[in-house]
Amino acid sequence: MFDCRILPGETKDSLLEEVKNVLSNEGVDLEKLEFEFIQAGEASESPIETPLYEILVEVVKGIEPNADVVPYMTTGGTDSEFLREVGCVCYGFAPMKTDMPLSEFLKLAHGIDERISIDNLVFGASVLYETVKRFMQ
């Protein structure tokens, strides 16, 4: 058994074919295996050509002028797929600075002793506050 996410533009059938191709190329006898989807939600994404995304970029660059704001896919699940189904734009947005090497920074998320720096807490709260304030005007 394994757990994976279906990428935008892909289907569960194309994922299954890719898994079978990889296993077959490794010499695995596919006749001895059973394949079953226990749960398979379609991939979802929101466009970035929206007023909200423009505000996100403006706010981040206003606070941190050298920052780059780019879409980034992360692992994990989200309830946003249900909101997107009814037409809502949803972004997983957690503004943080990488104030240490990225490889170390990523280990802190959902790990033992999960944490961020005080500077990151202040930065993130400031960006989120300003984003909501501007979006609601």
Q: Which pLDDT does position 55 carry in this prediction? A: 97
Task: Report if pTM > 0.75.
Answer: no
Cβ-contact 102, 27 below 8 angstroms: no
Cβ-contact 6, 73 below 8 angstroms: no
Q: Which pLDDT does position 71 carry in this prediction? A: 83
String of b and e for 113-125 (b: at least 16 CB within 10 Å)?
eeebeeebeebbe
Residue ranges of the chain with pLDDT lower than 70?
75-76
Q: Which pLDDT does position 70 carry in this prediction? A: 85
Q: Which pLDDT does position 29 carry in this prediction? A: 93
Domains and CATH numbers, the chain: 1-43 (no CATH), 51-135 (1.10.150.900)
